[in-house]
Structure 1
Amino acid sequence: MENKFGAWSPLLLRIITGIGFIVHGWAKVARGTAGFEKLLIQTGIPMHHLMSIIAPYTEILGGAALLAGLFTRLIAVPLIVTMLTAMFTVNINYGFSSIKTIGLTPSGPLFGPPGYEINLLYIAVLLSLIITGGGKFSADHQFKLKWR
């Protein structure tokens, strides 16, 4: 028996994941990509200048496509690649947890660098969207796009 609200699941996953990718991508380009390029150099990413442009725009455009549910299955693949790259070059060094309280100040808690938990959550959502597609409330569904 199918749940009558099941059609909403891909929409909810697409909204939060799409917004997350847009915000993370925008943070890399808002003040120029030079700072992000320095991080890529430190982590040994090849073609760091090119990647400092490709990665954030993949996140921004991919996030927008997820929000619209456009080419959902297809766009999930490069977004998974960005998450795997971030996980294995940066976040893996800080353990699993994405929230690490390292101290407390009068203005609130201090947090350490995030671990790879958030990468795995994004990857799980993207894999779910590859399996289910964009859902009933997506451009893919409206245009009857089947990326299988």
Structure 2
Amino acid sequence: MIHIRQLATSPLPLPPGWAALPLRLIIGFGFMQHGFAKLARGPDAFPAILHAMGLPFPHLLGYATIAVELLGGLCMLLGALVPLASIPMIIVLIVATITVHWPNGFSSIKLMSFDAAGAHFGQPGYETDLLYIAGIVTLCLTGAGPVSVDRLLARVWRRARAAHG
């Protein structure tokens, strides 16, 4: 029987590794959503923005960013090759933090006004980028969890190692 003190303090009495699932789902979905949003504006729209910002090689960086967001997001959703996928994902977040969000300060929510049309917000800061990085690093340190391609690969590789030696 679970006592109230077990539900009042962490960790909750759940099997280990399950905390990775909600992290993977929101990080993966969020990254893929950003990639799809860039594509929805047309494949050349994001490189044009990077060009206007003065970044070098805007087409290369633009298409690479979209690929990282879509493929990295999918890897996170599936829990596949998480440490490997994390590297370009974190690079994209650091570049976004430095080039776009840093001048706007920390907070990602800046309520500017509220009227009959609803809430109006200012430019987001780098808070969300740091939250994504923290989640990605956590997944690298703790693993992708029990329902993941990484767990399946670990089992397969362990069996292959045992069979060969």
What is aligned with 2:128?
A: 118
Could you tell me how far apart the structure 2 residues matched to 1:120 and 1:95 are? 12
Could you tell me how far apart the structure 2 residues matched to 1:14 and 1:43 are? 31
- The offset of 1:34, in angstroms, is 2.3
What is aligned with 1:15?
A: 25
The equivalent position to 1:68 in structure 2, one of 54, 71, 78, is 78
Say how many residue pairs are matched: 145
Give the letter aligned to residue 27 of structure 2.
T
Preserved contact between residue 93 and residue 115 of structure 1 (Cα < 8 Å)? yes
Could you tell me how far apart the structure 2 residues matched to 1:94 and 1:5 are? 40
The equivalent position to 2:64 in structure 1, one of 33, 54, 68, is 54
What is aligned with 1:86?
A: 96
- CA deviations 1:50-76 (Å, max 9, x no partner) are 111110111011101110011011101
Could you tell me how far apart the structure 2 residues matched to 1:110 and 1:4 are? 40
- The offset of 1:93, in angstroms, is 1.1
RMSD (Å) for aligned C-alpha atoms:
1.6
TM-score scaled to structure 2, two decimals? 0.82
Preserved contact between residue 43 and residue 90 of structure 1 (Cα < 8 Å)? no
Give the letter aligned to residue 105 of structure 1.
D
Structure 2: gaps spanning 5 or more residues: 1-10, 158-165
- CA deviations 1:80-133 (Å, max 9, x no partner) are 000000000000011110011111121211011100000000000011111112
Preserved contact between residue 29 and residue 77 of structure 2 (Cα < 8 Å)? yes
1:141 equivalent to 2:141? Answer: no
Moved more, 20-29 or 35-44: 35-44
TM-score scaled to structure 1, two decimals? 0.91
1:96 equivalent to 2:127? Answer: no
Structure 1: gaps spanning 5 or more residues: none
